[in-house]
Amino acid sequence: MSCMNFTVHNKEGERPLNLEFERVFAIGYAGRNMEKTMEHIRELERELGVPAPKKIPTIFQCGNYVLTQERDLAFVGEKSCGEVEYVIVIRQGKIYIGVGSDHTDRELEAASVPKAKQICAKPICGELWDYEEMKDHWDGIRLRSWQTVDGAEVLYQDGTLADILPVEVILKELEERVGGIDNCVIFSGTVPVCDGFKYGTNFRYEMEDEVLGRKLASDYNVIAISEEER
Q: Is residue 230 part of a domain?
A: no
Which residues does 170 contact at the CB level (< 8 Å), separation at least 6?
Answer: 27, 30, 57, 88, 186, 188, 189
Which residues does 72 contact at the CB level (< 8 Å), separation at least 6?
Answer: 220, 221, 223
Domain that holds residue 198: 2-225
CB of 143 closer than 8 Å to CB of 86: yes
**What DSSP assignment string belongs to 38-64?**
HHHHHHHHHHH-PPPPSSSSEEEEE-G
Count of domains observed in the chain? 1
Q: Is residue 58 part of a domain?
A: yes
Q: Is residue 192 part of a domain?
A: yes
pTM for this structure?
A: 0.95
User: Across residues 198-209, what is the average pLDDT?
Assistant: 97
**Ramachandran class of 77: left when φ > 0, alpha when ψ lies in -120 to 50, beta otherwise:** left
Distances in Å between the alpha carbon of 165 and those of 29, 37, 38, 122, 143? 9, 11, 14, 20, 14
Mean pLDDT of the chain: 94
CATH number assigned to the domain comprising residue 52: 3.90.850.10
Q: What is the pLDDT of residues 17-64, one digit of tens each?
A: 999 999 999 999 999 998 888 887 887 888 888 888 888 999 999 999
pLDDT value of position 13:
93
**What DSSP assignment string belongs to 71-85?**
SEEEEESS-EE--EE
User: Across residues 68-93, what is the average pLDDT?
Assistant: 96
Q: Which residue has the higher pLDDT, 43 or 69?
A: 69
Q: Is residue 174 part of a domain?
A: yes
